Structure 1
Amino acid sequence: MSNNLVADLWESITQTSSTELLAAAAGIVSVWFSKKASSWVYPTGLLNTIIYVWLSFKIQLPGEGVVNLYYTIMSLYGWYNWSRKDLTEKPLVQISYATSQEWIQHVLFFVIIYIVLYGSLSGLKEYFFEGAIPWADALASAAAFTGMWLMTQKKIESWYWWIVTNITSMPLYFVKGLRVTALYYLILLLLAFAGLHSWKEKVKKPHA
């Protein structure tokens, strides 16, 4: 069983377009830079998101397409925000925990985005995207919307939302036949746990 799975995965890799492989590689490098709290997360991420905007609509995952378009816009903002420095050349935006009030705002933001996306995707499924999976696509996308916004603010909690996004996205892409992308999200999931640990350590040791 496991040998068949490995063989199927290898076959999928060999049949995967160079464009998808490039997007996956750029995404992994981007998350690695994010783990390091480096502003290089954004230029590398832009390459990933632009490709996935096109790919998501192609395989009838419009919610993922919208979220990658959002990633593209927020990457430009995040790149600017992370690059800002004070008079001593220290970054103005530092890694920090969200307050209780901010947590409530984040959850409300997630719920609103989920409801809007689910309703929109359900309508699109009926008329344009018969292969869409509204509830799962909306869940992954709403979590990603929330995680991306928090990442531009260097909030540790952004990693929790990335974990939800990656867990949801793996089966979503697998059932669409994009096994390499499903594997890509598994790698991102592991990096998200590593990033969460790394950012917590950086808060304990501000100069690390």
Structure 2
Amino acid sequence: MIAFLFDQYKDYPAYLIALEFIAVVFGVISVLFAKKNNILVYPTGLVSTILFVYILYKFQLYGDLIINIYYSIMSFLGWYLWSKTKGGHEEFPISTISRKEFVISSLIFLITLTFVALIYYFFDKFTHWTAYVDALTTGLFFVGMWLMAKRKIENWIFWIIADIISIPLYFYKGLTFSSFQFILFTFIAILGYREWKKYLQKTI
């Protein structure tokens, strides 16, 4: 079983394996902070996403690379929005998505899907089923990250769906540690949704 899970690492440079492991650890820590509605989700997440930008570039996984560049940018935005206060209270507390935000989320998904498809087409990477799944998960993750920056509870739904899809996808791509990360992300996202829902029920 161990050989089946990690045999793909035998040809990888040791430094890339170490970087992936560090990125996974910080990614998990970041999601745990998100679950607790703690602003430290962003600085810890940035360590993970910046490392993954480099790792994914080396593996030529452009869709995933784009996701992590976007994560890094949105982390700075989320960090800023979560730190804003008004009258001694959070300016952007946990809330549900509005009709306008639903429309924006739909546009983000469609634009992202189209953009990633064009990137894959340009680099002639639409040669395998993983490219199509990659485009789908990129769209889902983009929406999830934007909704998290806005502190919308629905962000967890997008994370859960995309995380579940990513578990076998990353294992197939040869990134076993990352695959395990998405298993943890799925469980944490479910718990995060439940915790944010309890918070909303208390504030109603």
Could you tell me the TM-score, scaled by structure 2's length? 0.89
Tell me, in whole angstroms, the C-alpha distance in 2 between the residues paired with 1:132 and 1:59.
Answer: 17
Tell me, in whole angstroms, the C-alpha distance in 2 between the residues paired with 1:136 and 1:157.
Answer: 22
Q: CA deviation at 1:154?
A: 0.2
Tell me, in whole angstroms, the C-alpha distance in 1 between the residues paired with 2:22 and 2:145.
Answer: 21
- Unpaired segments of 5 or more residues in structure 1? none
Q: CA deviation at 1:51?
A: 0.4
Kept after mapping to 1: 8 A contact 2:171/2:179: yes
In structure 2, what is the equivalent of residue 114 of structure 1?
113
Q: Deviations over 1:130-174 (max 9, x none)?
A: 779321111111111111011000001111111122122222211
State yes or no: 1:159 paired with 2:156: yes
- The amino acid of 2:62's aligned partner reads P
- Unpaired segments of 5 or more residues in structure 2? none
Kept after mapping to 2: 8 A contact 1:169/1:185: yes
State yes or no: 1:175 paired with 2:172: yes
Q: CA deviation at 1:7?
A: 5.2
Q: CA deviation at 1:42?
A: 0.2
Q: CA deviation at 1:122?
A: 2.3
Kept after mapping to 2: 8 A contact 1:30/1:45: yes
Match among 4, 22, 26 for residue 8 of structure 1 = 4
Tell me, in whole angstroms, the C-alpha distance in 2 between the residues paired with 1:11 and 1:26.
Answer: 24
**Correspondences of 1:1-208 after superposition (within 5 Å):** 4=1, 6=2, 8-9=4-5, 17-88=17-88, 90-126=89-125, 133-206=130-203
Cα distance, 1:8–1:134 mapped onto 2, change above 3 Å: closer
SS of match in other structure, 2:91: coil
When the two chains are superposed, the root-mean-square deviation of aligned CA atoms in Å is 2.4
Q: CA deviation at 1:10?
A: 6.3
SS of match in other structure, 1:39: coil
SS of match in other structure, 1:171: helix
Tell me, in whole angstroms, the C-alpha distance in 2 between the residues paired with 1:149 and 1:177.
Answer: 28
SS of match in other structure, 2:50: helix
- The amino acid of 1:65's aligned partner reads L
Cα distance, 1:63–1:182 mapped onto 2, change above 3 Å: same
SS of match in other structure, 1:17: helix
Q: CA deviation at 1:107?
A: 2.0
Tell me, in whole angstroms, the C-alpha distance in 2 between the residues paired with 1:86 and 1:13.
Answer: 50
Tell me, in whole angstroms, the C-alpha distance in 1 between the residues paired with 2:164 and 2:59.
Answer: 19
Tell me, in whole angstroms, the C-alpha distance in 2 between the residues paired with 1:81 and 1:49.
Answer: 19
Q: CA deviation at 1:180?
A: 1.2
Tell me, in whole angstroms, the C-alpha distance in 1 between the residues paired with 2:69 and 2:198.
Answer: 31
Identical columns (%): 35
